[in-house]
Structure 1
Amino acid sequence: MSIPNFSVATETDIPALEQLVNSAYRGEHSKKGWTTEADLLGGIRTDANGLKNMMSEPAAVILTYTGEQGLLQGCVFLKQKANKLYLGMLTVDPELQAQGIGKKLLSAAEEYARQKNCDGITMTVISVRHKLIAWYERHGYRKTGATEPFPADPSFGLPKQELEFVVMEKSL
């Protein structure tokens, strides 16, 4: 990847990724940002084994974004599926949210998709995360009308209410 401040994560990045992702999605620290899932899900968002498994999936990468001091500030999981790129786990440090890092991650994902000759990007978003869905819509993503059940696997979190995903897509 030759986009400034971005690189493909390796296993040496796992401890920092685990801390970043969990701090952005769950627990009290996540509430410093606007993308928290702490009121919807208990437990952790990911662990070292989950991240390692994601990295080892065929046609998948985790892109990392580092700031000027070389500190990890964001990441995104990308997996090519035929002519589409699946985008997941878009993460920005809660204390740095609303500073454009998420937009940079989306742009890098779109550039990566183009490099892989993908004609679109798909993602799933928890249906009750209205502000997040609206943010993606402002960046060209649209609900497809499809939904997916939230996994019953506790490694994805412990739902505090009934949850499902909406499928969103952007054509490139």
Structure 2
Amino acid sequence: MISTATLQDIPELNQLVNSAYRGESSKKGWTTEEHLLGGIRTDEADLAASLQKPNVTILKYTESGKIIGSVYLEKQVDKLYLGMLTVSPELQGGGIGKKLMQAAESFAREQQLKKISMTVISVRKELIEYYERRGFENTGETKPFPMNDPKFGIPKQHLEFIVMEKTI
């Protein structure tokens, strides 16, 4: 079931996101960033701050009372920014990410937004290909990766983001 996350979900969301992107547990899935970044992906304070913004929604995918997927959505002026798409490493490849992406598109339509935008680390070829299969295109725009902000992780090499968009 997909629903909107609340402040009460923060501890479980924090554990899920960090387990999917960083550390030993992330290596069980294909979305790991462990080889690119050290440190954590997020923390409870950042998640709480995000959820308290009026233009931010985090959708959660729950099964048997446990959060096994989530996606960060931020309503911007003329588009929806999508970030931190997360599926439990043990369950990746089972369609949960696809369902969360479909829910994000429905959310964008409800908000009368015609585009979804995201940033992806440029060396994450498999992730870029995943989003391309779902209709996202590389806009050609790049953005610097925050190199000195441990909130985003500690880079193990030079990184930058590419901007991808999908018209819905």
Question: Displacement, 1:58?
Answer: 2.8
TM-score between both structures, scaled by the size of structure 1: 0.96
Correspondence for 2:27: 31
- Please, which of 7, 14, 17 is the counterpart of residue 18 of structure 1? 14
- Please, which of 23, 40, 44 is the counterpart of residue 44 of structure 1? 40
CA distance in 1, matches of 2:113, 2:76: 9
Identity of aligned residues (%): 60
Alignment pair present for 1:171 and 2:164:
no
**Runs of 4 or more above 2 Å deviation:** none
- The CA deviation string for residues 49-82 of structure 1, in whole angstroms up to 9 with x for no partner, is 0101111123111100012x12111000000101
CA distance in 1, matches of 2:47, 2:152: 12
- The CA deviation string for residues 1-27 of structure 1, in whole angstroms up to 9 with x for no partner, is xxxx11111110000000000000000
Number of equivalences: 167
Q: Secondary structure at the residue paired with 1:33?
A: coil
Q: 58-67 vs 39-48, which deviates more?
A: 58-67
Segments of 5+ residues of structure 1 without an aligned counterpart are: none
CA distance in 2, matches of 1:154, 1:29: 20
Q: 53-62 vs 70-79, which deviates more?
A: 53-62
RMSD: 0.6
Report the residue type matching 2:45 in the other structure. N
Question: Displacement, 1:121?
Answer: 0.1
Correspondence for 1:115: 110
Segments of 5+ residues of structure 2 without an aligned counterpart are: none
Q: Secondary structure at the residue paired with 1:46?
A: coil
Q: 109-118 vs 146-155, which deviates more?
A: 146-155
CA distance in 2, matches of 1:24, 1:76: 12
